[in-house]
Structure 1
Amino acid sequence: MEIQEIYRGRLIDHVQLVVDDLAASKKFYRAVFEAIGIPMGGEADDYFWADELFISSVDSRAAAGVPTGRTHLAFQASDRATVDRFHAAAVAAGGKDNGAPGERPYHPGYYAAFVLDPDGNNIEVVHHGTANRSSDAVKITF
C-alpha cells in the first residue's frame, strides 16, 4: 500500500468496509468517486481505497473473514449538481436507489441522495447548502 499524508485532529481516521464481491464494489465506488471528484488512492487484488475509505474482500489480509454489517456513509458534495451526478452514476454502476436527490428536513439547505451499494450499505452524498454557513462551518441545532 502507498504512503498517505496523515491528518491530525479528525474525528474519523478511516473506515473499512469488508465486502462479498470486490469487483462489484470496485465498479460501484469508482463511479461514485468519479462523480464526487475523489481520486482512487490505490488498489490490489484484495482491496482498494480512496481518501480515508478502505474496501477489502472477505479473504483479504486486512479483513477478519466476514463482511462488515450494513453501514451508512455520507460523503460531502460541493453543490447540488454533484449530488445529482452521484445518484445517476451510482445507480448506473449497480447501486439500488434508496432516496432520489432532493431536500431533506434535517436543516435548511440539506440536499442529498441515497444509494445502496452491492452489499447493502447506505451511501449518501449531501450538499449542506449555504443557508446556515458562516465561513466553512455549518451550525446545526438538535
Structure 2
Amino acid sequence: MLDHFGWNVRDLARSVAFYERCLAPLGLTKIDAGDGFAIFGDRTRDDAPYLWIGTLVPSFWTGEHRPGAAPIHVAFRAPDQRAVDAFHREGLAAGGRDNGAPGRREDGLTYYAAFLIDPDGNNVEAAVRLAR
C-alpha cells in the first residue's frame, strides 16, 4: 500500500543510530545513505516500503517540513512478539524514550506492540497482529 515515507531530523547521526538499533529486530536495515539522508528498508524485497530520514529538505517539500514541527506516529510491522520486545529494548539502548512497554493491545484490532519516542519526538511503534 505504501511506497515510502520520510521526515526531517535534527541530528542525522543520532537518528541513524537510533533507527539502526530499533529497526534491526524487524528485519529493516540502512540500505542507502548520502550527504544529509539515510534510507531504511528490507534488503530482501525490492517492492517493500522504505523510510527516508534526513537533514536536507527535498525540493518538493514545503517550508512547513522541519524536525518535530508536527510529531508523527508510524507503526512498523514485526514478525513476532520477540521482535517487538527487541525493538523496544534496542530503541531504549539507542537513546529513545519509552512510550509504551511491549504488551498486548486491543483497540479495534488485537495486537502486541511497543512504543518509543525517537530523538525528534516522533512516536514509533512495532506491532504484530494476534489471532482474535
Query: Could you tell me the TM-score, scaled by structure 1's length?
Result: 0.77
1:25 corresponds to 2:15: yes
Structure 1: gaps spanning 5 or more residues? 1-9, 133-142
CA contact (8 A) 1:76 1:125 kept: yes
Question: Identity across aligned pairs (percent)?
Answer: 40
Mapped to 2, the partners of 1:84 and 1:90 lie a distance apart of 10
The worse-fitting range, judged by mean Cα deviation, of 40-49 and 64-73 is: 64-73
- 2:53 is paired with a residue whose SS is strand
Which residue identity does 1:110 align to in structure 2?
Answer: Y
Larger gyration radius, structure 1 or structure 2: 1
Q: Higher RCO, 1 or 2 (CA under 8 Å, sep at least 6)?
A: 2
1:114 aligned counterpart, secondary structure: strand
Q: Which amino acid aligns with 1:121?
A: N
Deviation, structure 1 residue 36? 1.2
Q: Which residue pairs with 1:139 in the alignment?
A: none
Partner of 1:56: 54
Aligned residue in 2 for 1:140: none
User: Which amino acid is the alignment partner of residue 84 of structure 1?
Assistant: D
> What RMSD over aligned residues (CA atoms) do the two structures have, in Å?
1.7
Structure 2: gaps (5+ residues): 42-49
Matches within 5 A, 1:1-142: 10=1, 12-51=2-41, 52-57=50-55, 60-62=56-58, 66-67=66-67, 68-107=69-108, 109-129=110-130, 131-132=131-132
Question: AA paired with 1:71?
Answer: I
Q: Secondary structure at the match of 2:79?
A: coil
By percentage of residues, which structure has more strand? 2
Q: AA paired with 1:43?
A: A
Aligned partner of 1:117: which letter? Answer: D
Tell me, what secondary structure is at the counterpart of 1:110?
strand
**Structure 2 CA distance, aligned partners of 1:70 and 1:122?**
7
1:23-48 CA deviation, whole Å, 9 max, x = no partner? Answer: 11011000022121112110013000
Q: Return closer, same or farther for 1:64/1:26 CA change in 2, 3 Å cut-off.
A: farther
Aligned length: 119
SS at 1:40 equivalent: strand
